[in-house]
Chains A and B, each alone.
Chain A
Amino acid sequence: DSGVTQTPKHLITATGQRVTLRCSPRSGDLSVYWYQQSLDQGLQFLIQYYNGEERAKGNILERFSAQQFPDLHSELNLSSLELGDSALYFCASSGGAGGNQPQHFGDGTRLSIL
């Protein structure tokens, strides 16, 4: 058990809809990272938050957004969903801001768009 909790485990929705994925980091970790895993793109970094502030951005679409709350949990919002957004979405956490500490992953949310 990595200590990173993601909910829900599975999500099924339709094109055009909006969903919110939630992540609780390990106790004491201040950084949260979001990744997308798909068969064609592999594991891709989306965005990082540190102590409530956006820290780094990767290949995140404009339809996607994230935030980190004062209690350090994070949410990833996906809107105007398309079939191609079907994927596994992982959250990871680490202690520091600059990524000098190992990242530990949750078990993901599987998003299926019908």
Chain B
Amino acid sequence: GENVEQHPSTLSVQEGDSAVIKCTYSDSASNYFPWYKQELGKGPQLIIDIRSNVGEKKDQRIAVTLNKTAKHFSLHITETQPEDSAVYFCAPRSNDYKLSFGAGTTVTVRA
């Protein structure tokens, strides 16, 4: 099965600064790379995704970059705001179409 490692496990940033989370996966056949945000008491919410034929995708303050050769992809949040505080998960999908979730990164944005 897919081995997924997510770093860091916790991240504290000052409001307005940037946050970067990295996800490393093992299955070279993985072809879809989503990031989910989970707030307390809620289910994971898809915030951005990228497919293997694209290197970077941006949506306002959020971006994802993919390096298929090195088998990692990263989530970038710019101009962080208090509402960005949450747990973020990467979940690469391999050829069997299953999502394999990382252990999560707890992001805290300090006002």
Subset of 7 A-B contacts with CB under 8 Å: A45-B99, A45-B100, A90-B44, A99-B93, A99-B98, A102-B34, A108-B42
Let me know if A107 is at the binding interface, CB within 8 A: yes
Partner of B97, one of A43, A90, A99: A99
Dominant SS at the B interface? Answer: loop
Checking A98, A99, A108 against B43 with a beta-carbon cut-off of 8 angstroms, the contacting residue is A108
**In the bound complex, how far is the Cα of B38 from the Cα of A82, in angstroms?**
27
Least CB distance from A6 to B in Å reads 8
Besides A4-B43, A90-B44, 13 other CB < 8 A contacts? A42-B101, A43-B44, A48-B97, A99-B32, A99-B93, A99-B97, A99-B99, A102-B46, A102-B49, A105-B43, A107-B43, A108-B42, A108-B43
Inter-chain contact B97/A56, CB cutoff 8 Å: yes
Interface magnitude class on chain A: 20 to 34
Q: Are B42 and A107 in contact (CB under 8 A)?
A: yes
B42 touches A103 (CB 8 A): no
Question: Which B residues fall within an 8 A CB radius of A?
Answer: 32, 34, 36, 41-46, 49, 89, 91, 93, 96-104
Q: Is A106 an interface residue (CB 8 A)?
A: yes
Contact in complex: A45, B43 (CB < 8 Å): no
Say whether B98 contacts A105, CB under 8 Å: no
Given contacts A2-B43, A90-B43, contact A42 B104 (CB under 8 A): yes
Contact assessment for B97 and A98 in the assembled complex, using a CB-CB cutoff below 8 Å: yes
Which of B91, B98, B102 gathers the greatest number of chain A CB atoms within 10 Å? B98
Enumerate chain B residues within 8 angstroms of A56, measured Cβ to Cβ.
96-98
B residues less than 8 Å from A45 (CB atoms): 98-100
**Residues of chain A lying within 8 A (CB to CB) of residue B98:** 45, 48, 56, 58, 99
